[in-house]
Amino acid sequence: MKAIQLEKPQVLNIIDTPHPEAPSEGQALVRVHSVGICGTDYGGYLGKMPFFSYPRIPGHELGVEVVALGKDVSHVRIGDHASVEPYINCQACYSCRRGHSNCCENHQTLGVHCDGGLRPLFLVPARKLHVSNTLAFDQLALVETLAIGCHAVNRCAPQPGENVLVLGAGPIGLSVIEFARLAGARVIVLDLNEQRLRFVRDSMGIPDTIVGGPQALEKLQSLTQGQLADVVIDATGHNESMSRCLEYATFKGRIVYVGITTQELHFPHAPIMHRRELTLMASRNALPEDFKRIIQLIEQGRLDTRPWLTHRAAFDDLPSIFPSWLNPQAGVIKAVVEMPIP
């Protein structure tokens, strides 16, 4: 059976891998139909993702079909279509016992810490499958990206009418936009890439955008009548942006880091953090209820995933095409790999 392996940074290969064994108790054997590519995959390819280990079969945004089940699985049936919650938690640590499975102390993310879904078949704990037999496999593959934004917005709980500034209009930033808007907040988006801001305006209907640079703070002040942002959600993963984003927050504002950086962050405490009594939060992964909510929202037509899918590749073509998706001029919002039938 073929699989795509990231041997080391910037080296993607098609390899042969053993066919999976029959599922054991609590497991499901799934056939992968669609794999979304996200910033984590790009970061792993470039060697900039701190949690990534090599060699690794990537792929954690997955639309799958259940082909076999082990014992004691009742909520999933053979033939079901599902999104995969790729955060494999131990169920025993203090975090898991308190319901925080997204930051399990022994956490393993498919395609990052352990092998993921860029292979036709693999085994997964059945409890990590979220079924929808009405959504397309591409839609199911997008649920995980949306879940990251959903959880980040839940962390800061924006209220109707509050100004939410989203930094970074990549896929994670776009997912944040969706859920901030569903919360009834006024969304403002800042990015360095005007092409991405145009997508935000034209395809997502967000009129208020800011091109990053020296005038960004002044523009935000103008858009908010000097109030600044009640909530700032940084989805850039860039240490300079994450260090400076406190400047955009109003008094009693909340800041959420959903992007990841390996670099240190530096910001003034007394004049900004302390004086404004800001709340600083991180957001990691997502929770099972986020996946369930998102599937329901897509089924109800309240979330439209169609504008997101801008690029596609066949499985065999991915190693040669993947580097081109890193070029900002390629205009990639979300790329999907179409998997072969084994």
Domain identity same for 24 and 91:
yes
Inside any domain, residue 34: yes
Inside any domain, residue 300: no
Question: Within the chain, what is the greatest distance between any pair of CA atoms?
Answer: 62
Domain identity same for 108 and 153:
no
Show the 3-state SS of 39-51: HHHHHHHHCCCCC
Could you identify the residue written with the tokens 């990590």? 128
Domain identity same for 113 and 154:
no
pLDDT at res. 328: 86
Q: How far apart are CA 23 and CA 27, in angstroms?
A: 5
Long-range contacts of 328-334 (CB under 8 A, 24+ apart): 328/193, 328/195, 331/195, 333/171, 333/174, 333/196, 333/199, 333/307, 333/308, 333/309, 334/36, 334/37, 334/38, 334/142, 334/145, 334/171, 334/308, 334/309, 334/310
Give the model confidence (pLDDT) of 148-203 as tens digits: 999 999 999 999 999 999 999 999 999 999 999 999 999 999 999 999 999 999 99
Asked if residues 206 and 217 have their Cβ atoms less than 8 Å apart, the reply is no
Asked if residues 153 and 176 have their Cβ atoms less than 8 Å apart, the reply is yes
Q: Which residues of the chain have pLDDT under 50?
A: none
Q: Which residues contact 306 (CB under 8 A, 6 or more apart)?
A: none
Give the CATH number for residue 91: 3.90.180.10
Inside any domain, residue 78: yes
pLDDT at res. 198: 95
Q: How far apart are CA 330 and CA 163, in angstroms?
A: 31
Domain identity same for 53 and 103:
yes
Inside any domain, residue 103: yes
Give the model confidence (pLDDT) of 24-50 as tens digits: 999 999 999 999 998 889 989 998 888
The sign of the torsion formed by the CA atoms of 339, 289, 230, 205 equals: positive
Structural domain including 309 reads 2-131+305-338
Asked if residues 337 and 321 have their Cβ atoms less than 8 Å apart, the reply is no
pLDDT at res. 122: 97
Q: How far apart are CA 229 and CA 223, in angstroms?
A: 10
Structure tokens at 118: 């860029």
Task: Say how many domains are in the chain.
Answer: 2
Domain identity same for 103 and 209:
no
Q: How far apart are CA 122 and CA 33, in angstroms?
A: 12
pLDDT at res. 187: 98
Among the candidates 251, 282, 313, a domain finishes at 282
Domain identity same for 159 and 277:
yes
- pTM for the model stands at 0.94
Inside any domain, residue 299: no
Inside any domain, residue 293: no
Give the CATH number for residue 262: 3.40.50.720
Inside any domain, residue 13: yes
**CA 320 to chain centroid:** 24
Domain identity same for 237 and 310:
no
